[in-house]
Structure 1
């Protein structure tokens, strides 16, 4: 009785054929990269917080940092947001960025990439 069930589910060799393939996982990641090379996602500021988390960083601080690094023309070139191109000022840019989530996300992303590059000693994006 049990043999008939096994015959229907088994391959001719008696074992089920199973397709196997190698799928690389992140568990192999430490084997190829040493801990001496920090990953961009793990970059930390002077206080030890991850830069990508924006811990305690206000929009004013972000905008002032980006202005010092790139200036208004550089921000307009990199982000293509009108508040940086047409009659730019910190006050009007802050109002726009606070009311427009997609624009704020673009500015925060540029800040994270620039700060990460600075901490890791790489050129700014």
Structure 2
């Protein structure tokens, strides 16, 4: 169930940030992300996006609407001691799961950058990517 966070590692409240994935349990596509706050904080923005259909990743949000949010699972599976390590781990796990390939996942970039790399692009620039 999506409203519950599953931890594959012991929760480290002293960590700078955590790496998580959101898994579509129907088609097995994944989104890999990072969170530097309490792990649920980032999730609140995703839920708001589902309700209003806007946000940093419309592909993921629309899939949650299409397949029903109850068919998605959130898993925290890695942590980092600082921003550099967090960015490196996000890039590693996105590459590992190939989740920036639309066939396997919902990520829109290679990670490690803070995301939103497509928000300020024109429609023409988006077609080139």
Give the TM interval when normalised to the shorter protein. Answer: under 0.3
Structure of greater Rg = 1
Structure 1 or 2: more strand by fraction: 2
Structure 1 or 2: more helix by fraction: 1
Bigger RCO (CA 8 Å, 6+ sep): 2
**TM-score (normalizing by structure 1):** 0.24
